[in-house]
Amino acid sequence: MASLFQKEILELKGVGEKRSQLFIKLGAPTVGALLRLYPRDYEDWSNLVPLAQAPAEQVCVVRVTVVSAVSEQRIRSGMTLYKLRVTDGQHDALITYFNNRYIKELLVEGREYLLRGKVTGTLLRREMASPDFMPANRPLPLRPIYRQTAGLSSRQISSAVRSALGLLPNPLPDPLPDPLPEPMREACRLCGLRLALENIHFPKDREALEQARRRLIFEELLILQLGLLRMKSRGRQQTSLHMEVDATEEFFKSLPFIPTNAQKRAVAECMRDMQGESPMNRLLQGDVGSGKTAVAAALCHSAIASGMQAAFMAPTEILARQHFTTMSGLLEPFHLRVALLTGSIPAAKRREILEELQEGKIHLLVGTHAILNESVAFRRLGLVVTDEQHRFGVAQRAALTQKGDHPHILVMSATPIPRTLALMIYGDLELSVLNELPPGRQKTETYVIDSSKRARAFGFLRKKIDAGRQCYIICPLIEDSESDMASVTQYAKELQEKWFFANTVGVLHGKMRPAEKERAMEDFTAGRTDILVSTTVVEVGVDVPNAVVMLIENAERYGLSQLHQLRGRIGRGTEKSTCILVSDAQNEEAQKRLRVMCETTDGFRIADEDLRLRGPGDFFGARQHGLPELKIADMSADFALLQLAQGEAKELLTRDPAMELPEHRGLRAEVRQLFTSLE
Ligand code: ADP
Ligand code: MG
């Protein structure tokens, strides 16, 4: 059986040398892989109507017999019309095809077929132009539609799949049974592999398709969860990097503020990890402004005090610079060497940094992905902190452990995610949460207005600017617009000319070159621009305390969590800040969501609301979580199955941590395969 799945695609009947190359390109070099190329959709052939009752202008299916052989008629050069007559026993119809010379062999006189297409003409003269067809003796109620590649049609894929399915013995024998152990299948009410494969490709009916999907989705999610959990336990390798010195007290005393209880708790949790035998793998979740940087600094300080080096990685150049400044400031009392490494550091400077890093003279290296580069070697790297982890995938996390002797890893996220979800997406990490903001913060007021009040809102912005403050305006989203550049610049120009001619308006968007972005940010930080018109790129960690107003256009188009992120850019100073959500959305749902924004500034509550109101889509979707690509499951749509799979994965690993039992062999192989890209 194993050998059957491994059989090369070339060995399949009807697949020649050339076509096999195309299948390989499609990701199906073997019979097994071909069977796992699930259809992307299904065409419904189950709704049969008599010719006489075929609705106008609507695709329908008729069951007919060919009554006259195909006749050929050349209508102009290069155009041949093929005609045939069919009957459904009551009525006739004329069927036409253009330029399909195979039609003669495919539609044979006297045989019965299903035709799918639009029926036109009068009752006396029914016609169908180029209908799709299938033999009526083995009808498919739901015809699979496959993702095509150059040169391979959905129909060709379908026929290869059919011959592959034909090879499967029934029932599937050992030694490669269903990867899902039978007791698990029974407990979770999942059908067997054979039935699933047959019905995912050629469903007997809707219900059978649903059964098949459920099983295959579960399987995929289970494998994903097993992989993540295994990575977590693999993270428990030995490390030589025990944190010997706990210098957190000393560090806390050096701070210009008193750490919150949440900060102290998070630091203690991390320290406990780092004092152990195996490396820390922890996610620190904390709302914007909850003071994650200080937590990171405390840990870096202790790591350095224990004779190690630390690295701090940010997803963008802007953020790396910002963190460099902050970390340098926080660590200054201890006279430590902090260096910045990004893609734009000049070669000579870079060489110098690398050298000093290797000699151990640099204690903390702050930077972008550039830190991951092979040429960057530490003398004794003990701790890696990454900020805004959703930009770092599991693979990068794995790459990090290669640097040094399994350094401790802390990933920080300013995106509050409901705990249940966090545990699933970051199944390979432990979780710490900063659920408390430093005291004395002014709460940002949030208002929803419709566009008729925009002029007044702009007046409010002008007043703030006159008083020396700055504002963000998040520019309108233009549906289907590839270039946010066009929309931002256009919008900014209009603002400048119509509303803010006396002020300076800056622009920031994702398509700008890093140097341009930086200039725009610097101008804003230094107060040279009054208004920053931006796309959501300001979302990540930008810190300008003098900016006290944010106006967000088309607010209804964003998820709550994203709005929350955006809003986190203001309210960072001592002055009260105001967030204005502009929306003309009429529907109840949208208004309800925007009201949540006005009611609370608690990121975790907002995340919970977002999950409740919109489902987990926003958390899984837009956000790049860096998990392996899934074939059939959609973690947001299949949330209930995800939970089920996670439960099963945990239970399985409790019983059989190394997945060594014979009944787990199949699953282990699949886990290994899904995660190869990560190893
Ligand atoms: P984030 O979690 O969003 O990264 P930061 O680390 O940037 O938050 O902290 C936000 C601001 O709060 C910074 O100016 C920081 O100095 C300040 N801060 C952090 N912790 C405290 C605290 N315990 N008390 C007062 N201010 C704090
Ligand atoms: Mg931060």
Nearest CA to ligand 1 atom 4: 292
Position 391 pLDDT exceeds 70: no
| Centroid of ligand 2 to alpha carbon of 607 (angstroms) | 18
289 CB near ligand 1 (under 6 Å): yes
571 CB near ligand 1 (under 6 Å): no
Half-sphere exposure of 124 (CA within 13 A, CB side): 0
pLDDT, average across residues 46-73? 89
Using DSSP, state whether 408 is helix, strand or coil.
strand
Residue with tokens 């180029």: 130
Name the least confident of 108-117, 394-403, 579-588, 596-605: 394-403
- Nearest to residue 369, comparing CAs of 447, 422, 407, 316? 316
Task: Enumerate the β-bridge partners of residue 430.
Answer: 282
pLDDT of residue 624: 46
- Portion of the chain with pLDDT greater than 90, in percent: 47
| Centroid of ligand 2 to alpha carbon of 283 (angstroms) | 14
- Nearest to residue 143, comparing CAs of 130, 152, 129, 132? 132
| Centroid of ligand 2 to alpha carbon of 330 (angstroms) | 14
- Asked if residues 43 and 142 have their Cβ atoms less than 8 Å apart, the reply is yes
pLDDT of residue 453: 95
pLDDT of residue 94: 94
Architecture of domain 46-135: Beta Barrel (2.40)
Pair of tokens at residue 472: 């963000």
260 CB near ligand 1 (under 6 Å): yes
pLDDT of residue 511: 81
> 328 pLDDT band (50/70/90 cuts)?
very high
Cα separation, 591 vs 568, in Å, equals: 21
Instruction: Give the pLDDT confidence of 238-265 residue by residue, as tens digits.
Output: 777 888 888 899 999 999 999 999 999 9
Q: How many CB atoms lie within 10 A of CB 651?
A: 12
Pair of tokens at residue 272: 């406990």
Q: For the chain, give percent helix, strand, coil, nearest 5.
A: 45, 20, 35
Position 169 pLDDT exceeds 80: no
Pair of tokens at residue 322: 């910002």
Cα separation, 367 vs 319, in Å, equals: 9
Ligand 2 (single-atom ion) residues, CB below 5 Å: 541
Cα separation, 217 vs 354, in Å, equals: 46
- Is residue 185 packed enough to be buried (19+ CB in 10 Å), middle (13-18) or exposed (0-12)? middle
Position 297 pLDDT exceeds 50: yes
Higher pLDDT, 440 or 622: 440
Nearest CA to ligand 1 atom 23: 259
- Nearest to residue 28, comparing CAs of 169, 142, 146? 146
Cα separation, 357 vs 33, in Å, equals: 46
Pair of tokens at residue 498: 């119509």
- Asked if residues 43 and 145 have their Cβ atoms less than 8 Å apart, the reply is yes
465 CB near ligand 1 (under 6 Å): no
- Is residue 454 packed enough to be buried (19+ CB in 10 Å), middle (13-18) or exposed (0-12)? middle
pLDDT, average across residues 288-314? 93
Name the least confident of 381-385, 393-397, 527-531: 393-397
Name the least confident of 216-230, 630-644, 647-661: 630-644
Q: Treating both helix axes as pointing N-terminal to C-terminal, what angle do 261-275 and 292-305 enclose, rounded to 10 degrees? A: 30
- The rounded mean pLDDT for the chain is 86
Position 615 pLDDT exceeds 80: no
pLDDT of residue 416: 76
| Centroid of ligand 2 to alpha carbon of 509 (angstroms) | 20
- Nearest to residue 190, comparing CAs of 636, 641, 568? 641
Give the C-alpha distances (Å, rounded to integers) separating 39 from 72, 148, 152, 673: 35, 10, 14, 21
Cα separation, 381 vs 308, in Å, equals: 6
- Asked if residues 351 and 378 have their Cβ atoms less than 8 Å apart, the reply is no
The highest-confidence range among 328-342, 427-441, 568-582, by mean pLDDT, is 328-342
288 CB near ligand 1 (under 6 Å): yes
Position 661 pLDDT exceeds 90: yes
pLDDT of residue 626: 59
Position 623 pLDDT exceeds 50: no
Q: Which ligand is nearest to the CA of 434?
A: 1
| Centroid of ligand 1 to alpha carbon of 322 (angstroms) | 13
Distance of CA 405 to the CA centre of its chain: 30
Domain range summary for the chain, segments of one domain joined by +:
1-42+148-168, 46-135, 173-233+640-679, 248-434, 445-600
Pair of tokens at residue 334: 């201890």
Q: Treating both helix axes as pointing N-terminal to C-terminal, what angle do 588-599 and 560-567 enclose, rounded to 10 degrees? A: 40
∠ at Cα 306 (349, 236), nearest 5°? 100
Position 216 pLDDT exceeds 70: yes
Report the nearest atom of ligand 1 relative to the CA of 293. Answer: 6
pLDDT, average across residues 580-608? 89
pLDDT, average across residues 73-94? 89
Q: Give CATH for domain 1-42+148-168.
A: 1.10.150
Q: How many CB atoms lie within 10 A of CB 467?
A: 9
| Centroid of ligand 2 to alpha carbon of 541 (angstroms) | 5
Cα separation, 113 vs 69, in Å, equals: 14
416 CB near ligand 1 (under 6 Å): no
Position 400 pLDDT exceeds 90: no
Q: How many CB atoms lie within 10 A of CB 105?
A: 8
- Portion of the chain with pLDDT greater than 70, in percent: 90
| Beta sheet of 505-508, edge-to-edge order | 445-449, 578-582, 547-552, 470-474, 531-534, 505-508
Position 423 pLDDT exceeds 60: yes
pLDDT of residue 263: 97
292 CB near ligand 1 (under 6 Å): yes
- Is residue 515 packed enough to be buried (19+ CB in 10 Å), middle (13-18) or exposed (0-12)? exposed
pLDDT, average across residues 262-288? 91
**Could you please report the per-residue DSSP string of 187-207?**
HTT---HHHHHHHHHS-SSHH
* Length of the chain measured in residues: 679
Position 622 pLDDT exceeds 50: no
Q: How many CB atoms lie within 10 A of CB 649?
A: 24
pLDDT, average across residues 289-299? 94
Cα separation, 180 vs 324, in Å, equals: 49
248-434 and 445-600 share one fold: yes
Higher pLDDT, 188 or 627: 188
> 581 pLDDT band (50/70/90 cuts)?
very high
Higher pLDDT, 254 or 630: 254
Q: Give CATH for domain 248-434.
A: 3.40.50.300
Half-sphere exposure of 331 (CA within 13 A, CB side): 29
pLDDT, average across residues 478-483? 55
Report the nearest atom of ligand 1 relative to the CA of 568. Answer: 3
Position 367 pLDDT exceeds 70: yes
Using DSSP, state whether 526 is helix, strand or coil.
coil
Instruction: Give the pLDDT confidence of 502-536 residue by residue, as tens digits.
Output: 999 999 887 888 788 888 988 999 999 999 999 87
Q: Which ligand is nearest to the CA of 288?
A: 1
- Is residue 524 packed enough to be buried (19+ CB in 10 Å), middle (13-18) or exposed (0-12)? buried
Higher pLDDT, 169 or 267: 267
Position 60 pLDDT exceeds 70: yes
| Centroid of ligand 2 to alpha carbon of 412 (angstroms) | 8
* CATH class of the region 445-600: alpha beta
- Is residue 150 packed enough to be buried (19+ CB in 10 Å), middle (13-18) or exposed (0-12)? exposed
Q: What are phi and psi of 642, to 5 degrees?
A: -60, -45
Distance of CA 654 to the CA centre of its chain: 29
Cα separation, 415 vs 402, in Å, equals: 27
Position 658 pLDDT exceeds 50: yes
Higher pLDDT, 161 or 517: 161
Nearest CA to ligand 1 atom 5: 291
Name the least confident of 175-179, 292-296, 551-555, 639-643: 175-179
pLDDT of residue 608: 82
| Centroid of ligand 2 to alpha carbon of 440 (angstroms) | 18
285 CB near ligand 1 (under 6 Å): no
Higher pLDDT, 581 or 147: 581
- Asked if residues 456 and 607 have their Cβ atoms less than 8 Å apart, the reply is no
286 CB near ligand 1 (under 6 Å): yes
| Centroid of ligand 1 to alpha carbon of 327 (angstroms) | 12
- Nearest to residue 144, comparing CAs of 72, 43, 27, 9? 43
Residue with tokens 């035998």: 277
296 CB near ligand 1 (under 6 Å): no
pLDDT, average across residues 362-371? 92
Position 175 pLDDT exceeds 50: no
